[in-house]
Amino acid sequence: MKCDLVVVGGGPGGSMAAKAAAAAGLNVVMLEKRQEIGDPVRCAEGVSKRSLHKMVQPEPEWISSEVKGARLYAPDGNSIVMSEDKSGGEVGYVLERKVFDRGLAMLAAQAGARVMVKTRALGLIKKDGAVCGVSAMRIGEPIQIEAPLVIGADGVESKVGRWAGIDTTLKLDDIESCAQFLVQDASIDDDYTEFFLGNSIAPSGYAWSFPKGRKLANIGLGIQGSRSKPGEAVRLLRQLMKSRFPNGRVVEMVVGGDPCSGPINSAIADGVMLVGDAARQTDPLTGGGILNAMKAGAIAGEVAAKAISAGDFTRKGLQEYEARWKEDIGKTLARSFQLKEFFVKLTDKDINQLIGSLAKEDITKMDLGGMLRVLFRLNPKLLWSLKSLII
């Protein structure tokens, strides 16, 4: 089989890339190793409403619920509230990823991309050192797909980058080990995403509740890999359930690894572009990755079309992708990485002090930057090392 572009991975990044490239006239094949796109889920499903609408017109069935804001709990139980349009990060919509991912794949298919499920990439085909396709296993049968360009959208367990010589291996400091239950409980706040901070709750991470409507919520947590031990994420989640949601009924279980390394220096190689979790474009502070993957995917798809028409598939020919994703999301990712590096070291006493200091401040109208500036003013000694990031 021959085509212009192979996209490896049918998540939001892959589908947006396939959609953009197909819409620009390329002959695109998108491979998904699972037999069902979007399932099993590995995500807390929160996205910013405004940012999602900038990317795509969402169908009503993609969205489980809409939240008004976020509430952050300190280890001592004190809390603060941020409103939806200002908290900036991953609140707004709580998606139904199984339907959402499939919906985006449908958009790619409608734009003309060929989607192959239960098809797993095995390696890059190279000729005289240049990428010229992907070898794959399709429903147990080997196939070769010839193409001068490959987009790796193959997630946390990405192989495409490593095959192309881009080292995407995550250090234990740079991955969060996560576990989540879908929970039915009368005590769930349907209107607010909740975050629970503390080293005994989720060491160098946080716990969350993303409400999905009708007293159903994704309740989970992530812990820094270096502070994990076998089975720790699930053990801590059970502990959280016991203390916070003792009457909760668990109807689904989700686990996963969330990259928080900050983006790799270069997401391109000759004939190859990486997008989304594969390029470690996940926000290291929040762990949110859907929108960044979609943005990067759309850019990569456009650049693929340009590269095909120019006939240049080398690193140089793909440089526009590198420049544009860095311009769009690179700076925020770099800042989030520095903030994460700081926040993972905080003691419970520090977190109590920071959240407690906001008790008398009106932060409901502030964005993250504004809140950080207030925090800095109230806690200059504790936050001094972040001075250059905040002011």
Partner 1 sequence: MLTVNRYKCCYCGACVGVCPTCALELVETWLEVSTECKECGLCAKICPVGALEVRA
DSSP, collapsed to helix, strand or coil, labels residue 157 as: coil
The three state secondary structure string of 180-241 is: EEEEECCCCCCCEEEEECCCCCCCCCEEEEEEEECCEEEEEEEEEHHHCCCCHHHHHHHHHH
Which one, 172 or 251, has the nearer CB to partner 1? 172
- The reply to whether 234 sits near partner 1 by the rule CB under 8 A is yes
| Paired tokens of 387 | 């001075």
Residues 6+ apart with CB under 8 A from 112: 22, 23, 28
- Using CB under 8 A, which residues numbered 194 to 233 contact partner 1? 225, 228-233
Which one, 281 or 352, has the nearer CB to partner 1? 281
User: Minimum distance between the CB of residue 257 and partner 1, rounded to whole angstroms?
Assistant: 3
Binding part of the chain for partner 1, among 99-107, 154-162, 305-313, 349-357 by CB under 8 A, reads 154-162
Residues 6+ apart with CB under 8 A from 250: 181, 182, 183, 241
> Which element (helix H / strand E) includes 249?
strand 249-259
Query: Tell me, what DSSP letter sits at residue 326?
Result: I
- Using CB under 8 A, which residues numbered 59 to 98 contact partner 1? none
Q: Kind of pairing, strands 130-138 and 141-146? A: antiparallel
- The reply to whether 34 sits near partner 1 by the rule CB under 8 A is yes
Cα dihedral 222, 224, 225, 226, rounded to 10, equals -160
DSSP, collapsed to helix, strand or coil, labels residue 179 as: strand
Distance CA 19, CA 23 (A): 6
Which one, 229 or 381, has the nearer CB to partner 1? 229
Candidates 114, 120, 215, 326; binder of partner 1 (CB under 8 A) is 120
Query: Tell me, what DSSP letter sits at residue 40?
Result: S
Candidates 19, 71, 159, 340; binder of partner 1 (CB under 8 A) is 159
- Region class of 29: left (phi > 0), else alpha (psi between -120 and 50), else beta: beta
> Do the beta carbons of residue 209 and residue 184 sit within 8 Å?
no
- The reply to whether 155 sits near partner 1 by the rule CB under 8 A is yes
User: Minimum distance between the CB of residue 157 and partner 1, rounded to whole angstroms?
Assistant: 3
- The reply to whether 9 sits near partner 1 by the rule CB under 8 A is no
User: Minimum distance between the CB of residue 85 and partner 1, rounded to whole angstroms?
Assistant: 32
Binding part of the chain for partner 1, among 166-174, 195-203, 285-293, 320-328 by CB under 8 A, reads 166-174
Question: What's the half-sphere exposure (Cβ side, CA atoms, 13 Å) at 382?
Answer: 21
- The reply to whether 142 sits near partner 1 by the rule CB under 8 A is no
Which one, 265 or 388, has the nearer CB to partner 1? 265
- The reply to whether 169 sits near partner 1 by the rule CB under 8 A is yes
- The reply to whether 297 sits near partner 1 by the rule CB under 8 A is no
Query: How many helices (H) and strands (E) would you count in the chain?
Result: 13, 19
- The reply to whether 251 sits near partner 1 by the rule CB under 8 A is no
User: Minimum distance between the CB of residue 140 and partner 1, rounded to whole angstroms?
Assistant: 11
Which one, 131 or 278, has the nearer CB to partner 1? 278
- The reply to whether 179 sits near partner 1 by the rule CB under 8 A is yes
Which one, 177 or 193, has the nearer CB to partner 1? 177
Query: Tell me, what DSSP letter sits at residue 2?
Result: B
- Using CB under 8 A, which residues numbered 254 to 273 contact partner 1? 254-257, 259
Candidates 44, 91, 178, 383; binder of partner 1 (CB under 8 A) is 178
User: Minimum distance between the CB of residue 284 and partner 1, rounded to whole angstroms?
Assistant: 14
Which residues form the interface with partner 1 (CB under 8 A)? 33-35, 40, 42, 118, 120, 155-159, 162, 168-172, 175, 177-179, 225, 228-234, 253-257, 259
